[in-house]
Structure 1
């Protein structure tokens, strides 16, 4: 297909009048779609959410909103084969698409369960116990959460066009806030297909979900207090949005989840051929190749005890050597393409910068022979492993190659491992692979303030572990510093991001009556 993608604006489908930006199939270079938002009415879109979608959602109780999510997830499950087929154009293999499509649907189901099990029967969410504030017991206080009165503008990254939308949409709907989805242009056609199915199904109240394919700058001018901007993408774009008047002057809430230089640390107890050693090698290689390394949680820095560096490099070379790069529609392919030729070129430049601090020990960023594809037309790159023997060099801790690229670096002891991990200036996730609890304790205690999530992986949990790179709906996702300083997911915590906490004061009887009525 090569049509101009329509946006869903104020209850109607809208198509821009210009030609739009061409979006190509990541593997073939053929045109998939065109994208433009030229001429749309930003004010009408925001007002429709505030005046139609918001009130409709707020009339529902938490269990009723949870039921909507469950129905929505079930209907998307019935349509997912079509999404898988479309996802090939993004460069994703079937395994990659499962992370995005099934992951997004599963997250929606998870929040439906959270809403039905963990939230109250009414519309008011109580925070904490009654706080006596007078000696006679006639005056007290209590905190409650209510839905924000505005709209959520979610600005999403290209790498997860389904999960990235649904993991924001589900808790917002559960909280009672309408959303405007702005998908990344490179993969907007997949998000658009899902949104069209949601709208056509009529599951959600009108105004609770809208979509804009194209530039969203005009929407920002309409946002302020009571609204939320939920962003996933690059640190540079996050900085621009954070400085927008909508945030700085009008106090819209802003949450950012950005790319980060995540690390995985191998413990000194892990000998070559042992359980933890093999788990480490498998985890690093998997994070390099799933979604062709285009994950904000991917392992960019592999930290290894100095005596084990050679063995780790040899093992990773062997595993990466079995990766088959090519058109993801081919059954033999195990790693597909990057999202675009432009993205491939950015990764090549980043590899060149990283190589200034060490050497490439596996793969060639400039040479690949993809299966069933033209290397000149498709956005292909081989997995690239680098070795940097001097962990004090700045490049591995400042340059991110957003693709199938990782750098192996040595450390001497737990304290140095923590120091190297912290040089990433804030990460979404770090992991430590070890069965030595003294080492694990020192690393986790030191590294936790620099990470949004820490995985301890060993032989005891490997069978059920969800892995280094997988955010879970029950646990927070985000991180300090370079990772954006934001937080999303985390069960009920995610719902509260879209609500206002208010301190109520009055007689205990009045407060009890208010809570009971809520």
Structure 2
């Protein structure tokens, strides 16, 4: 880039002055892409959200908010080429960028469509009416938006989707949001945010953008506010343990990185269609977004007698995944988000190698020229032959193009190994045996937020192991954070209060039409 972008926070319905704070550099060649602004006033932003944004959104009906989301999606679609151009600097290939940009816009479209089935009212009923006594006295649950602000703390790996997948259910619920993006790649988030503001579709105070430090924002929240966090378990635990979050019972939803697994079914053979489908999915998850997905496959579980064949097939396919400049059409594996991220991957990889053998990768490729200043890292496959007694492979995540191959003796051991991750966002099963699938699902479902089952008949329609869909829950128990984002209307629940109303039929009908 010839001139770095001077980023600006957006507070109280205006873009704040640009600053020349921390430099954000290209993951491709280390050149400066953008400059972070000076810190904003989080207290003033919170007050504006509560006093201006909240009333404006609550004055709209669910269906009106749905039309607002559609307008935002249309505006982003019309200018998405601007986002693709910036996305490359995060190390993302064109395909990686589509996963982020098109995925985020698609989430807005889905939630705008969901709104058509909601009442043209400002509250909605939840469930059927309950007869609680003789005569005209009935119980009914209703859902109404909270009166505070939604604080969205996003990760760096999806600068567009990460923002939009939280904003869609939040705005549809009728709650204003303060978006705090990950610093790395914040220039892409700011560009998408600016397009939404310039669309004119949002009422005053509906959204604000906080770049840089959040200051004491979390210490100002109360029980009408809500926090949605995406990132590491360590950071999530630190934030939700803050005295004010606990004392004021602030809603806190965490979607954390996890040790997701893929299982090749016990019925598989090298000649079975599921075998090749499994290999392709493992390699795609290792290379897409350079493995920087919270849903990426980290543990590759295969029948013990097939481990050598699986290893050979994965290595051969990885050999075809060209690493290099993500702006090139021939590149399959782009760069990590930055040098610091690569150092973190290498540190965790060293820990994993205390229990697992390096099969391929584990090196910084020499690509030549300016690319040698980038954050590239070779796709890395490890093999752990004794996963039942290993610890690190089930607890330590190298957040990059890294996966560990491990054998299992039978379906029961596959279940034990999958659950050893102590809670994951996603798991995939590749099998054509309904009985085996039934056993596996029954054993792993309580430890996994989403399970994708692929066979020879549905493979061409499968959406992919790593794709978090707006229609389905995104979250998982235990290590994955215990949160539940998306999931259609369920995704609105962190921003709605469920209240039990006891009244006559006439009054309940009037309330439901508000």
Q: Which TM-score band applies after superposition, normalised by the shorter structure?
A: over 0.9
The residue number in structure 2 matching 1:52 is 52
Q: Are 2:325 and 2:371, in contact at CA under 8 Å, matched by a contact in 1?
A: no
Partner Cα separation in structure 1 for residue 38 and residue 154 of structure 2: 16
Q: Are 2:364 and 2:376, in contact at CA under 8 Å, matched by a contact in 1?
A: no
The residue number in structure 2 matching 1:35 is 36
Equivalent residues, number: 511
Partner Cα separation in structure 2 for residue 373 and residue 509 of structure 1: 72
The residue number in structure 2 matching 1:476 is 473
Q: Are 1:289 and 1:404, in contact at CA under 8 Å, matched by a contact in 2?
A: yes
Partner Cα separation in structure 2 for residue 385 and residue 213 of structure 1: 36
- Tell me by how many angstroms 1:373 deviates: 4.4
Q: Cα deviations across residues 225-284 of structure 1 (Å, max 9, x unaligned)?
A: 111111101111100111113320111110110100000000121111320000100000
Classify the secondary structure of the residue corresponding to 1:463. helix
- Tell me by how many angstroms 1:498 deviates: 0.9
Q: Are 1:37 and 1:215, in contact at CA under 8 Å, matched by a contact in 2?
A: no
- Tell me by how many angstroms 1:366 deviates: 2.6
Partner Cα separation in structure 2 for residue 70 and residue 367 of structure 1: 43
Partner Cα separation in structure 2 for residue 373 and residue 30 of structure 1: 9
Q: Cα deviations across residues 287-331 of structure 1 (Å, max 9, x unaligned)?
A: 000000000000000000000000000000000011111111122
Partner Cα separation in structure 2 for residue 242 and residue 348 of structure 1: 28
The residue number in structure 2 matching 1:11 is 13
Classify the secondary structure of the residue corresponding to 1:20. coil
1:153 maps to 2:151: yes
Which of 487, 490, 501 is residue 490 of structure 1 equivalent to? 487
Which of 281, 302, 305 is residue 283 of structure 1 equivalent to? 281
Alignment of 1:205-224 (within 5 A): 205-224=203-222
Following TM superposition, the consecutive aligned residue runs of length 4 or more in structure 1 with deviations greater than 6 angstroms are none
The residue number in structure 2 matching 1:111 is 111
Distance 1:417 1:63, change over 3 A: same
After TM superposition, the score normalised by the length of structure 2 is 0.97
Partner Cα separation in structure 2 for residue 489 and residue 147 of structure 1: 17
Partner Cα separation in structure 1 for residue 240 and residue 408 of structure 2: 36
After TM superposition, the score normalised by the length of structure 1 is 0.97
Q: Cα deviations across residues 338-362 of structure 1 (Å, max 9, x unaligned)?
A: 0000101111111111111121111
Partner Cα separation in structure 2 for residue 373 and residue 99 of structure 1: 26
Distance 1:223 1:296, change over 3 A: same
Q: Are 2:219 and 2:245, in contact at CA under 8 Å, matched by a contact in 1?
A: no
Partner Cα separation in structure 2 for residue 369 and residue 445 of structure 1: 46
- Tell me by how many angstroms 1:200 deviates: 1.8
Q: Are 2:5 and 2:187, in contact at CA under 8 Å, matched by a contact in 1?
A: no
The residue number in structure 1 matching 2:126 is 127
- Tell me by how many angstroms 1:497 deviates: 2.1
Classify the secondary structure of the residue corresponding to 2:263. strand
Partner Cα separation in structure 2 for residue 37 and residue 478 of structure 1: 33
Distance 1:37 1:480, change over 3 A: farther
Partner Cα separation in structure 2 for residue 3 and residue 324 of structure 1: 30
- Tell me by how many angstroms 1:370 deviates: 3.0
The residue number in structure 2 matching 1:386 is 382
Q: Are 1:326 and 1:373, in contact at CA under 8 Å, matched by a contact in 2?
A: no
Distance 1:22 1:277, change over 3 A: same
Structure 1: segments with no counterpart, 5+ residues: none
Alignment of 1:282-321 (within 5 A): 282-321=280-319
Which of 200, 203, 217 is residue 201 of structure 2 equivalent to? 203
Segment of structure 1 superposing worse, 201-210 or 238-247? 238-247
Alignment of 1:80-479 (within 5 A): 80-116=80-116, 118-134=117-133, 136-363=134-361, 365-370=362-367, 373-375=370-372, 377-391=373-387, 392-479=389-476
Partner Cα separation in structure 2 for residue 253 and residue 76 of structure 1: 30
Segment of structure 1 superposing worse, 308-317 or 138-147? 138-147
Classify the secondary structure of the residue corresponding to 1:103. helix
Q: Are 1:434 and 1:458, in contact at CA under 8 Å, matched by a contact in 2?
A: yes
- Tell me by how many angstroms 1:372 deviates: 6.5
